[in-house]
A = this chain, B = another copy of it.
Amino acid sequence: MIILKLGGSVITKKEAPEPTLDHENLKRIAGEISDSLPSSLIIVHGAGSFGHPLAKKYRIGAPTSLEELQRKMMGFSIIQRWVKILNIHVCDALRKEDIPVVSIQPSSFILAYNGRIKHADPRIIISYLERGFIPVTYGDVVLDTDENLKMSVLSGDQIIKYLGETLKPEKVILGTDVDGVFDKDPKKYPDAKLLERIKSLKDIKYQPGKSEDVTGAMLGKIKELLLLAEKGVNSEIINAKKPGNIKKALLGQKLKKTIIDGDI
């Protein structure tokens, strides 16, 4: 089994103020997945512009005052709607390639405590896999049993970590908009060097992606993947914006990447 993450920055125009799909990338990626379909695959996608601006606007994941509760609940409802619409687009693109996708809505089966998955029932996803379906799940908003927070953002990366440790896949691939993790910010420094392997947070000298992204951008990703590596499941970060990379990664062919590796 392979778990493949499609980052929000890959399938949406992440910087757009409104939910905006990256049709072209999505179509190409669906084709690459179809060309190299493993016998067992789970796809997890991020929310990009369908989720992050709204999560920030409604302060989902921040402590909730009584005064803002009603507004925040409506925000939760609106975000749940938009990420579901993104999921429909992703499933449609994959179905056009004859991939038997099944949509799995995290907010229907996951509860969080203090922003982390506290209760989930993986049985349904396992059953779909056994039947030959390709489950497609995604970053979503979920209820939080912490009375202070009440609701939180569940990133696609945390889902990857949860599914990885629960299902023990052979491979976890994270498709992002960079070639992997660098020693400096590659968007600012052209001489930044790709780190081939990360075994701990100490391997990272700069603070990648210390941005306003509600899911913590690259640093959040690496933290989740290091937690996953501790459970014996390694993962690789690749650039899913470069044509051919998803296909190469699924087929186990050589490409630029960073491996997050727990074997110290």
**Cβ < 8 Å to B, chain A residues 60-105:** 69-70, 73-74, 76-78, 80-81, 84-85, 88, 91-92, 95, 98, 100-105
**CB within 8 Å for A127 and B145 given contacts A81-B88, A91-B77:** yes
From B105, B127, B145, contact of A143 by CB (8 A): B127
B124 contacts A103, C-beta separation under 8 Å:
no
A101 contacts B127, C-beta separation under 8 Å:
no
B74 contacts A102, C-beta separation under 8 Å:
no
A92 contacts B81, C-beta separation under 8 Å:
yes
Residues of B within 8 A of A77 (CB): 91, 95, 100-102, 133
Q: What is the bound-complex CA distance between A119 and B123, given in angstroms?
A: 9
Interface of A is mostly: helix
Q: Which of A23-31, A106-114, A183-191 is near enough to bind chain B? A: A106-114
Residues of B within 8 A of A85 (CB): 88
Q: Does A203 contact B (CB under 8 A)?
A: no
Q: Does A212 contact B (CB under 8 A)?
A: no
Q: Which residue of B lies closest to A127 (CB)?
A: B143
Tell me the minimal C-beta distance from A146 to chain B in angstroms: 12
Q: Which residue of B lies closest to A72 (CB)?
A: B100
Q: Does A131 contact B (CB under 8 A)?
A: yes
Tell me the minimal C-beta distance from A128 to chain B in angstroms: 6
Q: Does A38 contact B (CB under 8 A)?
A: no
**CB within 8 Å for A111 and B88 given contacts A73-B132, A74-B98, A95-B77:** no
Tell me the minimal C-beta distance from A42 to chain B in angstroms: 14
Residues of B within 8 A of A257 (CB): none
Q: What is the bound-complex CA distance between A91 and B95, given in angstroms?
A: 25
Residues of B within 8 A of A110 (CB): 124
List the interface of chain A (C-beta within 8 A of B).
Answer: 69-70, 73-74, 76-78, 80-81, 84-85, 88, 91-92, 95, 98, 100-111, 119, 121, 123-124, 127-128, 131-133, 143, 145, 150
- 3 shortest interchain CB distances as A-B pairs: A108-B108, A73-B100, A105-B105
